[in-house]
Structure 1
Amino acid sequence: MDTDLIAPLDPGWERALAPQREALAAVGQSITARRAGGEQVLPAPEDILRAFRQPFEAVRVLILGQDPYPTPGHPIGLSFAVDRHVAPLPRSLANIYRELSTDLGQAPASHGDLSAWTEQGVLLLNRVLTVGAGQAGSHRNLGWEAITEAAVAALAARAAQGPPLVAILWGAEARKMAPVLRAHGAGRVGLIESPHPSPLSAYRGFFGSRPFSRANELLAQAGAAPVDWRLD
């Protein structure tokens, strides 16, 4: 896929996102212009499309967030995750670990590396894939929403005909994808919706939502193996 964004992507994602070539090129050009104007764009160029390097056919749980952390050094192209050395953890991630502990009795990890989840087919995706440093939400309406909606629709369409998919939608922007998942998934996509885990909304329904055990229950109902949510 020829864009101003650093690739390559997984071949399955290349096919799924082929209709978005022009949109990706346009977003890439906008990001290039912002950088040229002095804006620090996060994450690093090689990580912007990182989620789409994960095998398309292997995705069985989608965790959909809103946009990357705006703190330099935090976003790495996987929603909610940070590199292992980052401390303290972003507060949204700390709240995710708190809910994971309540839900499954797992002790919170001492780091924010969620790659153990991605290796089991958990796709960590945001609706918007870039942000300006220190400017939360600053790249909304830049063009990412149409691209990630196409990605979500492609996963749902795949689930309608093949391996099951569970979608965990955190926050208002992510929850806008519920109708897309229903429309393309032919009733075969398990949906788990809640407020975002950020400190501003976690107490409005994220805490107590049990997304991890519920995802495994939905996978079991579809005849799929559960996710081992433990992190070393």
Structure 2
Amino acid sequence: MDTHETPLFELPEPQPDTTVFPFGQGLAEAVDGGFVAADWAEALAPVEGKLVSLARELEARRASGERILPAPPNILRAFSRPLAEARVLVMGQDPYPTPGHSMGLSFSALPQVRPLPRSLKNIYLELHEDTGLPIPAHGDLSAWANQGVMLLNRVLTVAAGAAGSHRRLGWESVTDAAMAALAARGGPLVAILWGKDAQALAPALGSIPIIASAHPSPLSARHGFFGSRPFTRANALLVQAGGAPIDWALPLVVPRG
């Protein structure tokens, strides 16, 4: 999901991918397809042209042989739940670069991924220490997203095997617009910013309360992430603002089918 995560195994032979990028014709198409919530489409309208041009750029890269992650239907997954429901923002950097891992939500992995990405393992360790909740056997954080935890990466695509490869492609203007919309909407809302890259975005969030610590990467987790208690702190801030806390419990096993 970020530059701290390198591919965990040799890349498999790419399969031809002709899936349409669901934002290639604009946000109305993405809303109609269920890829973007209507209020998010309204908030992202100022960068609709950028999304269309990004789709063209990604299509050109794919035509030249680059493998784009995550799968096109998942690229805007962080915007599939309504803006009005957002209660916690967790900022990541970019998708996991290992094929089959990224699924459009920051730090989250597809249910079948084994072993879990190392940053996610550390998040689970802190979750257990902070809340006492058991550690699930999978990396799917959809249960958090369904409660209004917006798991947003700064950059929404990556080339397989090349972490950070789509930085400065143009996604930053899209996520800038998203953060501006969250700041304008206001609370109850809490931002969790792990690492210096995420924390550099703090000014864009206005008066939204921020929980900041080191990144959960193995390179930095022991330098301020472990022991930071982001989950209980976020809930305390939500309740203080008159909101409902997040149930951070995840299904221990994702049901098949």
Shorter-chain TM-score bucket reads over 0.9
Matched with 2:110 is 83
- Matched residue of 1:7: which SS? helix
Matched with 2:133 is 106
Matched with 2:237 is 218
Q: How does 1:125-204 map to 2 (within 5 A)?
A: 125-159=152-186, 163-182=187-206, 187=207, 189-204=208-223
Matched with 1:64 is 91
Aligned residues with identical type, % of pairs: 60
User: Are positions 1:92 and 2:119 aligned together?
Assistant: yes
Q: 1:138 and 1:170 mapped to 2: Cα distance?
A: 20
Q: 2:77 and 2:50 mapped to 1: Cα distance?
A: 17
Matched with 2:46 is 19
The superposition leaves residues 129-180 of structure 1 with CA deviations (integer Å, 9 ceiling, x where unpaired) of 0001010100000001111011011011101xxx411011122222121000
Deviating runs (4+, > 3 A) in structure 1?
none
Is the CA contact (8 Å cut-off) linking 2:95 and 2:157 kept in structure 1? Answer: yes
Q: 2:106 and 2:23 mapped to 1: Cα distance?
A: 24
Shift, 1:12, TM fit:
0.5
Is the CA contact (8 Å cut-off) linking 1:3 and 1:21 kept in structure 2? Answer: no
Q: 1:20 and 1:174 mapped to 2: Cα distance?
A: 21
Q: 1:2 and 1:212 mapped to 2: Cα distance?
A: 33
Is the CA contact (8 Å cut-off) linking 1:43 and 1:76 kept in structure 2? Answer: yes
Which letter maps to 2:227? Answer: G
- Pairing partner for 1:52 from 46, 70, 79: 79
The number of aligned residues is: 224
Matched with 1:43 is 70
- Matched residue of 1:156: which SS? helix
Shift, 1:193, TM fit:
1.2
Is the CA contact (8 Å cut-off) linking 1:51 and 1:123 kept in structure 2? Answer: yes
TM-score by length of structure 1 reads 0.92
Query: Which of 117-126 and 21-30 deviates more?
Result: 21-30
Q: 1:34 and 1:54 mapped to 2: Cα distance?
A: 28
User: Are positions 1:116 and 2:135 aligned together?
Assistant: no
The structure with more helix, counted as a fraction of residues = 1
Shift, 1:2, TM fit:
5.5
TM-score by length of structure 2 reads 0.84
Which letter maps to 1:171? Answer: G
Give 5+ residue unaligned stretches, structure 2.
1-21, 252-257
Q: 1:200 and 1:29 mapped to 2: Cα distance?
A: 36
Which letter maps to 1:181? Answer: L
Q: 1:4 and 1:71 mapped to 2: Cα distance?
A: 28
* Aligned-pair Cα RMSD in Å: 1.5
Shift, 1:3, TM fit:
2.7
- Matched residue of 1:77: which SS? coil
The superposition leaves residues 3-45 of structure 1 with CA deviations (integer Å, 9 ceiling, x where unpaired) of 3688231000000000001111122111111101101010001
